[in-house]
Amino acid sequence: MKLTAKTLLTGTALAAALTGNAIAADLSPPVVIETPVIEVPEHVPAKVGGWYIRGDVSYNINRFKGADYMTATGFDGYLSGSLKDSYSIGGGVGYHFNHNLRADVTLDYDFKTDFHGSSAGICTISGVPADCTSSDTSGYKAWTLLANAYIDLGTYNKFTPYVGGGIGGAKVSWHPLVNEISGGFDQDGTYTHAGYHEWRFAYALMAGVSYEVSHNLAVDLGYRFRKIHGEKMFGYEAVSGTGIGVDDGIESHQFRAGLRYKFGGGKKKHVPYIPPYNPPVYK
């Protein structure tokens, strides 16, 4: 009886072992599905601060504010007239302090601007004083040096509106003033007054919008009101006995277009993209 029970236990254990091995043989090793690493472009934002250079061209609508000049009876002559529209080119260097504030120094050159006008003063007819008028022609060129500050009003789909102001000086070079008197006066004829070349106080107010072409390059379209204060315009002419003339300043409405290049802008580069962790899937 004991032998039979022992035999049965041994057979059962052997059968269980063989069955376990068979089941284990039927199971394949687990397969781990790994999440791939995907390379995607990452945008590195441009630096907020930094140096930039700029270049501009402008179309100028100019206004002559008039001039007073000296005659034989005192400083009582008056010159009125108009300036033709003109063009300017310029450049500058600036710095971005943050997202909203930047500043630059600009130097602009005004090409020759023609002047046509008329003057009123005192002439003589056979030695008798009389009111007279004459026609006048001249022109000027100018260099304008300004220190400017701007407030950028936020960026919207790459467009950044701004306002600003500048202060500095202008080197105005007047051409000789050609004065023609006619009308039966003793002074009838043509007289030439030398032009003055002097630095004057100047200021400007600006508004516009820039468009970001790239992280480094922006197109700038804007309007600038520039005022050049009055100074000496033309000198004394001995034959006619008139001069010196002092103008009351020049105002310009300038419509400007330019480019700004910022150093050290952001770039696009490829970096590994690591997705959120997902546990392995076994099959």
The 10s digit of each residue's pLDDT in 125-175 is: 888 888 888 999 999 999 999 999 999 999 999 999 999 999 999 999 999
- CA nearest to 260, candidates 93, 145, 143, 48: 93
Could you tell me where the DSSP H helices lie in the chain?
2-26
Does the pTM surpass 0.85? The reply is no
User: For the chain, how are helix, strand and coil distributed in percent, rounded to 5?
Assistant: 10, 65, 25
Say what percent of the chain tops pLDDT 70. Answer: 75
- CA nearest to 69, candidates 227, 196, 228: 196
Confidence of residue 267 (pLDDT cuts 50, 70, 90): low
Hey, what are 56's tokens? 């501009």
Tell me the C-alpha distance between 136 and 121, whole Å.
13
Contact present, 171 and 129 (Cβ < 8 Å): no
Name residue 38's beta-bridge partners: 273
| 198-257 confidence digits (pLDDT tens) | 999 999 999 999 999 998 999 999 999 999 999 999 999 988 888 899 999 999 999 999
